[in-house]
């Protein structure tokens, strides 16, 4: 039986889950995979935390050098998070001849190519299945299950915190602030929820998955990003009436050798499979030119789902003779990302309730070639009429120009909401 020694950097939520799986499920993994995986060392600032999670005091390391210098360790698991010291620690581990498994989506999205070059130079592996969608095996599916296809589209719910908040707002009529507070109480959202609710977490994951799906390195600064903090109960109710469910979506499309990459809230048609993804679950919908549509669904965060993905990478690295790398010479930065993408739009405006207002607003939309599918009056807000416009597919740039001009109209009090619609 092949022996694999593991070092774990960080014993927080995910590190604790990984340690638990490796110890509780040791015999089952040994039986199925013919591998004797042993945790040799754990690096954790809080010795008390490590002891509480059942880690023997004898394997708690004091510094990274105890990990890199230990010849019994073959694979190092990094679950510290953030850029530093994680990047320095991973670099030292790779240079010492140890493969690295990480769940660090921010680090991979920003420094993937650099770390992979170090791994190549030292003939070690760099694996990050757990960086995207928790326990959902999306990276292995893209790299080893979709080779026959050119992937033309990905769309998904990549963040469990925002999906939980939007589910509560939709199903229990909660306000955004109350739903966020509940998510924080349950441990889904951090005390500072910015990364989740402003779409950064989703953006990191979309950068990684788009690079894998489309063979182009996607710089973070080229990804359109918008969070959920402006979504109201009124938006959600309007969506229900129109047959839509609101989700924070990550969208990537390849067409005419150009890429469209964006993160934002969107109305999803109720019949679309992504509309049924509730609570803290994640999902991704793929379209391949030969296989057609595929959807993967599961728990996108948490100690055991993410720990499951980490252990999967450990087992994978133990079975292959040579590490596999992404060919970054074939995945160069794409300078032709589409910024003026096309979408349908939902727009809610508050305007004067008098004759001639509708003709003024529609004239501006027509000026920018924004075609209207339907108009619905939603009662009044103070002395203003609330009017919903649902457009046909139009360009982002045209829509934004029209909105800017609408805001200047004397008869328009405010453009309250603008939400894109998934087709």
Which active-site residues does the annotation give?
A: 205
Report yes or no: 158 and 132 within 8 Å, Cβ to Cβ.
yes
Q: How far apart are CA 333 and CA 259, in angstroms?
A: 11
Burial of residue 88 (CB within 10 Å: 0-12, 13-18, 19+) is exposed
Residue 337 per-residue DSSP state:
B
Report yes or no: 268 and 249 within 8 Å, Cβ to Cβ.
yes
CB neighbour list of residue 220: distance below 8 Å, 6 or more residues apart: 109, 110, 203, 204, 207
Q: How far apart are CA 309 and CA 246, in angstroms?
A: 28
Burial of residue 354 (CB within 10 Å: 0-12, 13-18, 19+) is exposed
The span from the first CA to the last CA of the chain, in angstroms, equals 52
* Backbone phi, psi, residue 253, to 5°: -135, 140
Q: How far apart are CA 134 and CA 88, in angstroms?
A: 24
Please choose, from the candidates 98, 96, 56, the residue with its C-alpha nearest in 3D space to the C-alpha of residue 77: 98
DSSP strand pairing (342-352 vs 384-391): antiparallel
CB neighbour list of residue 122: distance below 8 Å, 6 or more residues apart: 94, 95, 96, 97
Please choose, from the candidates 295, 294, 256, the residue with its C-alpha nearest in 3D space to the C-alpha of residue 277: 295
């Amino acid at each position: 039986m092949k022996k694999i020694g593991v070092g774990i950097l960080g014993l927080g939520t995910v590190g604790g889950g990984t340690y638990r799986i490796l110890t509780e499920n040791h015999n089952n993994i040994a039986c199925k995979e013919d591998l004797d995986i042993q945790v040799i060392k754990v690096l954790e600032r809080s010795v008390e935390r490590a002891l509480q999670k059942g880690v023997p005091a004898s394997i708690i390391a004091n510094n990274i050098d105890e990990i890199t210098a230990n010849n019994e360790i073959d694979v190092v698991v990094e679950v510290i998070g953030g850029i530093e010291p994680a990047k320095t620690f991973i670099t030292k581990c790779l240079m010492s001849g140890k493969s690295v498994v990480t769940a660090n989506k921010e680090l991979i999205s920003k420094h993937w190519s650099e770390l992979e070059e170090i791994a190549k130079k030292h003939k070690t592996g760099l694996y990050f299945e757990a960086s995207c969608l928790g326990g959902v095996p999306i990276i292995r599916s893209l790299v080893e299950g979709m080779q026959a296809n050119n992937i033309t589209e990905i769309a998904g719910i990549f963040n469990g915190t925002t999906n939980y908040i939007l589910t509560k707002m939709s199903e229990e009529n909660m306000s955004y602030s109350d739903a966020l507070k509940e998510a924080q109480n349950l441990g889904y959202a951090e005390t500072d929820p910015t990364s989740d609710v402003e779409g950064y977490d989703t953006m990191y994951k979309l950068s990684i998955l788009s690079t894998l799906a489309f063979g182009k390195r996607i710089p973070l600064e080229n990804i359109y990003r918008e969070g959920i903090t402006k979504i109201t109960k009124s938006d959600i109710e309007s969506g229900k009436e129109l047959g839509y469910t609101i989700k924070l979506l990550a969208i990537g499309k390849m067409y005419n050798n150009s890429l469209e990459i964006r993160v934002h809230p969107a109305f999803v048609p109720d019949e679309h499979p992504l509309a049924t993804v509730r609570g803290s679950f994640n999902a991704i919908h793929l379209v391949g030119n030969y296989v057609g549509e595929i959807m993967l669904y599961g728990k996108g965060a948490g100690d055991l789902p993410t720990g499951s993905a980490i252990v999967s990478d450990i087992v994978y690295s133990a079975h292959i003779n040579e590490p596999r790398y992404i060919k970054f010479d074939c995945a160069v930065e794409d300078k032709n990302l589409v910024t003026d993408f096309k979408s349908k739009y939902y727009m809610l405006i508050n305007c004067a309730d008098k004759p001639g207002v509708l003709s003024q607003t529609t004239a501006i939309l027509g000026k920018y070639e924004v075609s209207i599918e339907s108009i619905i009056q939603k009662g009044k807000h103070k002395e203003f009429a609330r009017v919903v416009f649902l457009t046909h597919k139009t360009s982002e740039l045209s829509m934004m120009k029209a909105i800017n001009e609408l805001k200047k109209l004397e008869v328009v009090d405010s453009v309250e909401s603008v939400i894109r619609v998934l087709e």
